[in-house]
Amino acid sequence: MELRQVRYFVRVVELGSMGRAAADLGLVTSALSQQISRLESELSTRLLQRTSSGVVPTDAGVAFLRQAQLMLRHADAAVQAAQQSRLSGQVSIGLAPTTAALLGLPLMLAMRERYPEVRLHLVEALSGYLTSMLNSRQIDLAVVFRTDAARRWSVLPLLDERLFVIGLQTMPGMPQQRRVRLKTLGALPLVLPSGPHGLRATIDAAFGSAGVRPNVVAQIDSLALLMDSVRAGLCATIQPGAATARLDDDRLVLREVADAQASRSNLLASLSDDELSPAGLAARVVMTDVARALVQAGRWPGATLHAH
């Protein structure tokens, strides 16, 4: 006797129909009927009988139903107890500021709903710092934009983000068309993060492919301060669309960079699977699910799910 057969039997009795139960369970009726027949053979008694209005339990079926429902409750309680015992403790997660602006709160809510016994430690820092923290095992997981091949990480491609020129529409030199090429931006004053960080490496490589040297007038390793300088009209910047998630400023416009290289991959990196705790493994699944839901709902500007 298999636990799934017991669940099937209980559902058939609850719905009073083999066809409705099969649809509810995602089975074809013949397959469900076969499983019920096997259960009856195992018990050497008839559990169900057909009537003009559907299916009802026999006397043996009624007696079995009460114990079956109790059996399923105990099985569900056992699963819950095992999960709650396994998924306790703390998991440390690192997010870049642009990623945290979109993923941070939904991740916290999803983890609280699914694994309330797991304590989250969220760290917001630029990707270069997150890489160092992951290497030194100060955090368990992080969304990064490039990997360290010398390290024994587990890496899951998460999503790809297009880059945008972001600035005040009234700023001199700010592109007016919705999509622009990097070769036209050589004179535009830009503020960017400094060299050690993933986004700057991506932008420099894209400008290099376009044969243009960017006009970087300032380097700021703080997203909040960087965007403040853009809002003040001092310069423009090149960032993923998520950089504007925490801003409420209608004066800012986004111009998508059309160059193929002007995108970055978001990678979910963690300690190797044999080092990652059960809570860390669970958090990794939740992070993937939440990011996918945000992209599919159109809440992650310029993002597309990575083609696995």
Question: What is residue 2's predicted lDDT score, i.e. its pLDDT?
Answer: 86
From CA 159, how far away is CA 290, in angstroms rounded?
12
- Residue 73 CB neighbours (<10 A): 10
Question: What is residue 84's predicted lDDT score, i.e. its pLDDT?
Answer: 64
Render the burial of 127-150: b for 16+ CB within 10 Å, e for the rest: bbbbbebbeeeebbbbbbbbeeee
pTM: 0.67
Cβ pair 240, 145 in contact under 8 A? no
pLDDT, averaged in runs of 10, over the chain (308 residues): 89 91 89 91 91 89 87 79 70 93 95 90 89 86 76 85 94 92 94 83 93 94 92 94 83 92 90 83 93 93 80
Tokens of 67: 């114990």
From CA 193, how far away is CA 130, in angstroms rounded?
15
Question: What is residue 129's predicted lDDT score, i.e. its pLDDT?
Answer: 85
Question: What is residue 204's predicted lDDT score, i.e. its pLDDT?
Answer: 93
Cβ pair 124, 95 in contact under 8 A? yes
Cα–Cα nearest to 236, from 180, 185, 198, 195? 185
Question: What is residue 148's predicted lDDT score, i.e. its pLDDT?
Answer: 61
Residue indicated by tokens 């409420």: 248
The number of residues in the chain equals 308
Per DSSP, what are the bridge partners of residue 180?
257
Question: What is residue 307's predicted lDDT score, i.e. its pLDDT?
Answer: 61
Burial of 76 (0-12, 13-18, 19+ CB in 10 A): exposed
From CA 75, how far away is CA 262, in angstroms rounded?
51
Torsions phi, psi for 132 (to 5 deg): -65, -40
